[in-house]
Amino acid sequence: MKTINKYKMKTNRLAMVILMAVLPLVTFSQSLFEKYEDLDEVSTVVVTKHAFRLMAKIGGDSKEAKEYVDMVQTLDNLTVYTTEDKGIAAKIKADVKKYLNTAELSELVRIKDDEANVRIYVREGRDDSHVKELFMFVNSLNNVEINGRNPSVVVVSLTGDIDLEKIGKLTDKMNIPGGKHLKKASK
Instruction: List, for residues 18-31, the tens digit of each pLDDT value.
Output: 434 443 443 345 56
DSSP 8-state code for residue 79: E
For residues 186 and 132, what is the distance between their CA atoms, to the nearest angstrom? 15
Q: In the prediction, which pLDDT does 89 show? A: 93
Element at 135 (helix H, strand E): strand 130-139
Among the ranges given (4-13, 64-73, 80-89), the one the predictor scored with the smallest mean pLDDT: 4-13
What confidence score (pLDDT) does residue 22 get? 41
Dihedrals phi, psi of 122, to nearest 5 degrees: -140, 155
Is the pLDDT at 87 greater than 90, yes or no?
Answer: yes
Identify the pLDDT of residue 16. Answer: 45
CA angle 46/83/94 to nearest 5° reads 95
Span 154-169, mean pLDDT? Answer: 84
Q: What number of other Cβ atoms are within 10 A of residue 134's Cβ?
A: 26
Beta-carbon count within 10 A of 65 CB:
12
Tell me the CA distances in angstroms from 151 to 62, 112, 180, one per residue in order: 35, 16, 16
- pLDDT band of residue 172 (cuts 50, 70, 90) is low
Residue 4 — pLDDT band, cuts 50, 70, 90? low
pLDDT at 66 over 60: yes
Instruction: Say whether pLDDT at 55 is over 90.
Output: no
Taking residues 60-66, report their average pLDDT: 74
CB atoms under 10 Å from CB of 157, counted, come to 21
The whole-number average pLDDT for the span 56-80 is 79
**What does the angle CA 83 – CA 88 – CA 89 come to, to the nearest 5 degrees?**
65
Cα dist. 43→14, 53, 160, 172 in Å?
A: 42, 24, 23, 19
- Helix (H), strand (E) at residue 19: helix 2-34
**pTM, entire model:** 0.73
Contact (Cβ atoms closer than 8 angstroms) between residue 140 and residue 131? no
Q: Do 155 and 118 contact (CB within 8 A), yes or no?
A: no
Tell me how far apart the terminal alpha carbons of the chain are, to the nearest angstrom. Answer: 62
- Band of residue 176 on the pLDDT scale cut at 50, 70, 90: low
Q: Is the pLDDT of residue 59 over 70?
A: no
Alpha helices (runs of H) in 73-154, residue ranges in sequence order = 86-102
